[in-house]
A and B are shown apart, each in its own frame.
Chain A
Amino acid sequence: MVVEQQLLPYFQWLLTGGENSLGALPSFFFVFLGVAMAALVIGFAIAASRYGILRGGDVTYKTVSEGLSELLQTAPRRVWAIARLAIKESMRRRVAVALGVFFLVLLFANWFLSTNHQEPARLYLSFVLTASTYLVLGVALLLSAFSLPNDFKTKTIYTVVTKPVRAGEIILGRIIGFTIVITGLLAIMGVGSYIFVVRSLDHSHTVELESFQVVTGPAGEDAGKKGTTSRDAGHRHELTLDAEGNGETTVENGHTHAIESIGENKYRVSPPLGFIRARVPQYGKLRFIDRSGAAKDTGISVGSEWTYRSFIDGNTPATAIWTFDNVSDAVDPKPPEAERSLPLSLIVRVFKTHKGVIGQALQGTIQLRNPESQLTSEPLPFDAQDQQVDDIDIPRKLLSQSRQEIDLFKDLVSKDGKIEVLVKCLDRGQYFGFAQADCYIRHPDGSPIASFAKVCVSIWVQAVIVVSVGVTISTLVSGPVAMLFVVGFIILGFWRQDFVDIATGKSYGGGPAESVVRIATQANVMVQLEDTLLNNLVSGFDKYFAKPIMWAVAQTLPDFRSFSTVRYAADGYNVPWDRVFQDVTVCLGYVIGLSILGYFLLRTREVAK
Chain B
Amino acid sequence: MSEEIILQTRALSKVYRDFWGRQKVRALKGLDLEVRRGEVFGLLGPNGSGKTTTIKLLLGLLFPTEGEALVFGKPASDVAKNERLGYLPEESYLYRFLTADETLDFYGRLFDMPSDVRRQRIDELIEMVGLQKARKRQLQEYSKGMTRRIGLAQALINDPELIMLDEPTSGLDPIGTREMKDMILRLKDEGKTIVMCSHLLADVQDVCDRIAILHQGELKELGRVDELLKVADVTQIRAKNLSVDCQQELRDVISRHHGELVSLDNPTTTLEELFLDIVRDSEARPGRRAGVK
Contacts and interface: CB of A to CB of B under 8 A. Distances in A.
| Chains A and B are bound partners | yes
B61 A161 contact: yes
B93 A154 contact: yes
Interface in B50-98: 56, 59-63, 78-80, 82-83, 85, 87, 89, 91-95, 97-98
A167 B78 CA distance: 12
B106 A84 contact: yes
A287 B166 CA distance: 78
Contacts of B127: none
A159 B109 contact: no
A85 B95 contact: yes
Interface in B222-266: none
Nearest to B52: A608
B112 interface: yes
Contacts of B193: none
Contacts of B59: 162
A120 B242 CA distance: 106
Interface in B1-31: 16
A84 B60 CA distance: 26
Contact of A164 (B94, B102, B112): B112
A164 B83 contact: yes
Interface string A138-166: 00000000000000001111111111111
Interface centre among A78, A159, A160, A608 (most CB of B within 10 A): A159
Interface in A38-79: 66, 70, 75, 77-78
A94 to B, nearest CB: 11
B89 to A, nearest CB: 5
Nearest to A165: B110
Contacts of B142: none
A554 to B, nearest CB: 30
A80 B59 CA distance: 24
B154 interface: yes
Given A606-B62, A609-B62, A162 B82 contact: yes
Interface string A114-133: 00000000000000000000
A162 B93 contact: no
Given A156-B93, A159-B87, A607 B110 contact: no
A609 B17 CA distance: 9
Interface centre among A80, A167, A607 (most CB of B within 10 A): A607
B285 to A, nearest CB: 32
A397 interface: no
A354 interface: no
A251 B121 CA distance: 69
Given A77-B112, A156-B95, A85 B106 contact: yes
A164 B111 contact: yes
A506 interface: no
B81 to A, nearest CB: 8
Contacts of A22: none
Nearest to B118: A77
A403 B18 CA distance: 90
A70 to B, nearest CB: 7
Contact of B82 (A157, A163, A609): A163
Given A158-B89, A608-B61, A89 B97 contact: yes
B87 A162 contact: yes
B171 to A, nearest CB: 16
Contacts of A77: 109, 112
A92 interface: yes
Interface SS of chain A: helix
A77 B111 CA distance: 9
Interface residues of B, number: 32
Contacts of B87: 158-159, 162
Nearest to B66: A51
B62 A608 contact: yes
Given A92-B97, A155-B89, A163-B82, A607 B61 contact: yes
Contacts of B109: 77-78, 80-81, 84
B61 A158 contact: yes
A89 B60 CA distance: 26
Interface in A155-193: 155-167
Contact of B154 (A80, A159, A606): A159
A88 interface: yes
A163 B97 contact: no
Interface in B85-136: 85, 87, 89, 91-95, 97-98, 102, 106-107, 109-112
B112 A88 contact: no
A463 B110 CA distance: 27
Given A155-B93, A156-B94, A159-B89, A164 B82 contact: yes
A166 B79 contact: yes
B106 A162 contact: no
A560 to B, nearest CB: 33
Interface centre among B16, B102, B112 (most CB of A within 10 A): B112
A166 B79 CA distance: 7
A165 B56 CA distance: 17
B118 to A, nearest CB: 10
A92 B102 CA distance: 14
Contacts of B91: 155
A88 B97 contact: yes
Contacts of A88: 95, 97-98, 102
A425 B154 CA distance: 79
Nearest to A161: B61
A573 to B, nearest CB: 44
A80 B151 CA distance: 22
A154 B63 CA distance: 20
Interface in A396-433: none
A81 B107 CA distance: 8
Contact of B110 (A66, A81, A92): A81
Nearest to A75: B112
Nearest to A82: B110
A503 B171 CA distance: 60
Contact of A160 (B78, B80, B85, B110): B110
Given A85-B95, A606-B62, A163 B110 contact: yes
A159 B155 CA distance: 9
Nearest to B57: A608
A607 B42 CA distance: 24
Contacts of B158: 163
A606 B110 CA distance: 20
A606 B63 contact: yes
Nearest to A92: B97
A70 B62 CA distance: 20
Interface string B146-171: 00000100100010000000000000
A70 B89 CA distance: 26
B73 to A, nearest CB: 16
Contacts of B98: 85, 88
A164 B98 CA distance: 20
Contacts of B102: 88
B111 A159 contact: no
A164 B62 contact: no
A159 B82 contact: no
A97 to B, nearest CB: 16
B106 to A, nearest CB: 6
Interface in A562-609: 606-609
A81 B95 CA distance: 13
9 contacts: A81-B106, A84-B109, A155-B91, A162-B61, A163-B110, A164-B82, A165-B79, A166-B79, A609-B62
Given A81-B110, A165-B82, 9 more contacts: A75-B112, A85-B95, A155-B91, A155-B93, A156-B94, A157-B93, A159-B151, A163-B82, A164-B112
Interface of A: 66, 70, 75, 77-78, 80-81, 84-85, 88-89, 92, 154-167, 606-609
Give 9 nearest A-B pairs by CB, closest first.
Answer: A81-B109, A608-B61, A163-B110, A155-B93, A92-B97, A164-B82, A162-B87, A165-B110, A608-B56
